[in-house]
Structure 1
Amino acid sequence: MLSYSSYVLTAVAALLVTCHALCKCPGIPGLPGVPGLPGRDGLKGQPHLPGLMGPSGNLMSPGRYGLPWSQGLPGSLDTVLYNALANLQERLSKLEGVLALHGKIKEVGDKILASNGKEVDFASALRSCEEAGGTLATPTNEEENKAILAIVKQYNRYAYLGIKESEASGQFKSINGMPLNYTKWHQHEPNGKGAENCVEMYTDGSWNDKKCNLYRLTICEF
């Protein structure tokens, strides 16, 4: 017959097996089995069983038994929460660029518009926007054009837009290479015929093709 201690260990082992199956986690090594009783046909000790592992780590702390902490969001998080955090991170990134400009700020749709109040040539304006994590403001609809115009009026200065003439004379595209689906050309514009490759916004919100080496207000979008 098994000793009392053997019965206890057998019961504990059975309990651990059940918990281990429910947990479906790797365990820490169990205790070694109890040696068999002396005698010709002494019984062998019960084989050791894997123990239970603590809960896995999360965003705030590692697991109970020192499991390595993995960066990023665990897949078990709710999808809505994951998307909200991702959008917040993107928005904070935009705001960092905006704050770096120390200027006027305007929000329109998914865009944030900002100006540092400086008047520079096109290349310098584009560079300052990109260094802040954005690009030159490029209106894609009437609402965005009005938002840019609001900043133009605040400074009462013409501003460069993120639009340039393509290799084909008289055809203008966004600086990212995309065709323009919205335009607000002033009457009889553009008329530079290849000599005026950049685009400025007047204080009435209309556009004019202009040379790129003139000083115009910098307005960025994020």
Structure 2
Amino acid sequence: MFHFTLGAGRATMLSYTSYLLTAAAALLVTCHALCKCPGTPGLPAVTGLLGRDGLRGQPCLLSLMDSLDIELNNDLVNLRHRISRLEGVLALNGKIREVGDKILASNGKEVDFESGLGSCEEAGGTVATPMNEEENKAILDIVKQYNRYAYLGIKESETSGQFLYIDGTALNYTKWHPHEPNGKGAEKCVEMYTDGSWNDKKCNLRRLTICEF
């Protein structure tokens, strides 16, 4: 099990994002308040800004406000998702790369495949898995910085020689080193060399941990 320590940067970011969530929640409450329609049980008229009679005699704004509520709720969900990803990246407190919709990060530790997968999942991600040439190059950048081979999020299936993503789906991109894979069922994991090519390897060796979020 890995334990990570965070500096003042994360505390500042969390304080700021907490403020954003609070402000968004307050806006939702305001929308509900403005949407009160007179004559509806449990929904008193709004007074003050709209006069003593509130919205009495005016078209009800419920439909509009409900639409705004849905949009704000979607924004909150997206914001929470981004905060979760950023927290995971900060927790690794190491090298970071962004490629497409993915964020790649490493804590510089070398562990076996299962330990690396566990630390990535604990941080809210998974083991880095290149699905195209651009992502492979981004992972390679981190591999080169540490000058260490790294496990990828790919494993051999029950069928010898057939490799799949760790979620069980078929590979849509490969970068095998010449004459690889050649483990014939004895090497279930996949590592990246420092030239970006892949090699099948046993899963109990110590390799660089690179996660994606």
* TM surpasses 0.5: yes
Higher helix share: 2
C-alpha displacement at 1:93, in angstroms?
0.8
Q: Which has the higher contact order (CA 8 A, sep 6+)?
A: 2
Change beyond 3 A, Cα 1:172–1:84: same
Task: Structure 1 unaligned segments of length 5 or more: list them.
Answer: 1-21, 29-50, 56-73
**2:58 counterpart residue number:** none
Tell me the amino acid that sits aligned with residue 155 of structure 2.
K
Per the normalisation by structure 2, the TM-score is 0.70
Deviation per residue, 1:128-182 (Å, 9 max, x gap)? 0011110000010111001000000110000000000000000000001111000
Runs of 4+ aligned residues of structure 1 deviating over 6 Å after TM superposition are: none
C-alpha displacement at 1:75, in angstroms?
3.4
Bigger Cα displacement from structure 2, 88-97 vs 163-172: 88-97
Query: Is 1:181 aligned to 2:172, yes or no?
Result: yes
**1:140 counterpart residue number:** 131
Q: Percent identity?
A: 76
Query: Is 1:197 aligned to 2:188, yes or no?
Result: yes
Q: Structure 2 matches for 1:158-177, cutoff 5 A?
A: 158-177=149-168
CA RMSD of aligned residues (A): 2.2
SS class of match (1:200):
strand
**2:142 counterpart residue number:** 151
C-alpha displacement at 1:91, in angstroms?
1.4
Query: Is 1:92 aligned to 2:92, yes or no?
Result: no
C-alpha displacement at 1:78, in angstroms?
7.2
SS class of match (1:75):
helix
Q: Structure 2 matches for 1:58-97, cutoff 5 A?
A: 75-77=66-68, 83-97=74-88
Change beyond 3 A, Cα 1:188–1:104: same
Q: Larger radius of gyration, structure 1 or 2?
A: 1
**1:23 counterpart residue number:** 37
SS class of match (2:87):
helix
**1:5 counterpart residue number:** none
Task: Structure 2 unaligned segments of length 5 or more: list them.
Answer: 1-35, 48-64
CA contact (8 A) 1:27 1:53 kept: no
**1:53 counterpart residue number:** 45
